[in-house]
Each structure stands twice: as C-alpha cells, then as structure tokens.
C-alpha cells in the first residue's frame, strides 16, 4: 500500500502562472515514469482568459470571417 505525496510550490521570482505551468509540465508528467499510480492534481492554478472584442463590420470590410479570428489570435497574425 502506497502513501500520499503532497508538494507545495512557491517562488519569490516566478509568476503564479509560470509556477503553475512548471507544476503541470514538469512535475505532473514526470510522475508516470517513476511508477506512481493514482492522480496528480494541481490546485491553485492561475489560468488566464483572453477576451477579444471584434467589430463585425470591420471584419467584413477586411474579408475576415469570425471563424478566422481565434486562429489569428493564437498565432499572432
């Protein structure tokens, strides 16, 4: 029978969103190869939402469809 491991991360220099990304990518994904079973959960995550307001008339004037906005925002074009 296994135990429970709890890790608490803080940083005086990293933003909370960067610390969350580190926990999600480095720690959570490295648990499986170590033979750990069960769940890896990250609490207190800082996920930021991006809201974009567009003008339908301005999009139409530039021949840009609403369905093209999200991919362009994701790529920065």
pTM, 2 dp: 0.42
Per-residue pLDDT at 2 exceeds 60: no
Name the maximum alpha-carbon separation found in the chain. Answer: 65
Position 40 pLDDT exceeds 70: no
Angle at 29 between CA 35 and CA 31, to 5 degrees: 25
CB 14 within 8 A of CB 22: yes
Please give the backbone phi and psi of residue 8, each rounded to the nearest 5 degrees, phi first: -120, 125
| pLDDT score for 45 | 61
Q: Across the chain, what does the average pLDDT equal?
A: 75
Residue of 25, 19, 26, 70 lying closest to 47 (CA atoms)? 19
What's the pLDDT tens digit per position in 9-39?
888 898 887 887 887 777 766 665 555 555 5
Residue of 29 and 68 predicted with greater confidence: 68
């Amino acid at each position: 029978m296994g135990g429970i491991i709890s890790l608490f991360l803080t940083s005086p220099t990293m933003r909370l969103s960067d610390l969350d990304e580190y926990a999600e990518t480095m720690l959570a994904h490295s648990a499986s190869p170590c033979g750990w079973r069960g769940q890896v959960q990250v609490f207190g995550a800082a996920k930021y939402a991006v809201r974009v307001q567009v003008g339908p008339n301005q999009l139409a004037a530039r021949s840009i469809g609403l369905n093209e906005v999200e991919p362009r925002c994701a790529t920065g074009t």
